[in-house]
Amino acid sequence: MIRRKRELEEHDNPERWLVSYADFITLLFAFFVVMYAISSVNQKKYKKLSESINSAFTNTPMVVSKQPDSLGSKPSSKGESLVKPLPLTQLHSQKLQIERENMTRLGINLSNSLSPLVKDEKIRVVQNNRGIRIDINDNLLFASGSADLNPGANSVLSQIANLLLQDDHAVQVEGHTDNTPIHSAQFYSNWELSAVRASSVVRMLSTLGVEENRLSALGFGSTQPISTNDSPEERAKDRRVSIMILYDRLNASNDTGIEITPRNPA
């Protein structure tokens, strides 16, 4: 029995662990080779794909490089996109572009028509992301602390109404005040004063022929200043009526919507 045990001990290989270690190193090497293979990216194809996606969503022509790629393929024709814009997206972009151009022309016509008052800084015509805004100093329209239109206000509003009659955009009239509080028998605060002034302008525009269903009135009080309000001159800039000609057309305001009913508790 002692002799048999010695024979088994002689056949035991003390360097057997080297085989397992070699297998592990081989597998590790194969793993890193695979990782490197899947991480390499064809930069030219990736650039073309990214430019095509950007062109599709922004509706801008893609300029394709005339240099051939590594496979020797022929360059694409100028302006050709790998990803075509969706028809609805392209149509919407074209409509927005036409709408902005029309609104810009309307703003220029308003500025030219009111140029003497614009030069005297009594009226400002501004185009923003909502549409065209006409800021009118309150002293052109109202006496201090009053919401009754001055006789001279008819001339200014008539010029604006004549251009509005050639258009079909919704019109929102906004009343604004400075930060000086008011508390009189007629107006409890600047909220009431600004709202009634906006309503007075809406009523005059309606009298001058602008359709009533295009008009709306809002009073903002002193919550939307355009100046520092730290001097009489700066506070005078905030006492204004703004006539907003909105990008949303008349049919956008006719949406009746969907009624939301309360849910029964579980």
State the average pLDDT over residues 125-143.
Answer: 92
Structure tokens at 166: 């050639």
User: pLDDT by residue (tens digit) across 58-111?
Assistant: 555 555 444 544 444 455 555 555 555 556 677 777 888 888 888 889 899 889
Confidence band of 30 (pLDDT split at 50, 70, 90): confident
| pLDDT for the residue numbered 70 | 46
Confidence band of 21 (pLDDT split at 50, 70, 90): confident
| Partners of 123 in the β-ladder | 136
Confidence band of 261 (pLDDT split at 50, 70, 90): low
Residue-averaged pLDDT of the chain: 79
More confident residue, 259 or 1: 259
Report the chain's C-alpha Rg in angstroms: 36
More confident residue, 152 or 256: 152
What is the CATH code for 93-254? 3.30.1330.60
| pLDDT for the residue numbered 125 | 93
Q: Are 108 and 121 in contact (CB under 8 A)?
A: no
User: pLDDT by residue (tens digit) across 164-217?
Assistant: 998 889 999 999 999 999 888 889 999 999 999 999 999 999 999 999 999 999
Cα-based distances in Å from 55 to 50, 74, 100, 101, 124:
9, 21, 21, 22, 37
- H-type alpha helices, the chain: 2-11, 17-39, 43-58, 87-113, 115-119, 138-141, 153-164, 190-207, 232-238
* CA–CA dist 104, 127 (Å, integer): 7
| pLDDT for the residue numbered 222 | 93
Q: Do you know the residue count of the chain? A: 266
Confidence band of 50 (pLDDT split at 50, 70, 90): low
* CA–CA dist 186, 183 (Å, integer): 8
Run of H or E including 125: strand 123-128
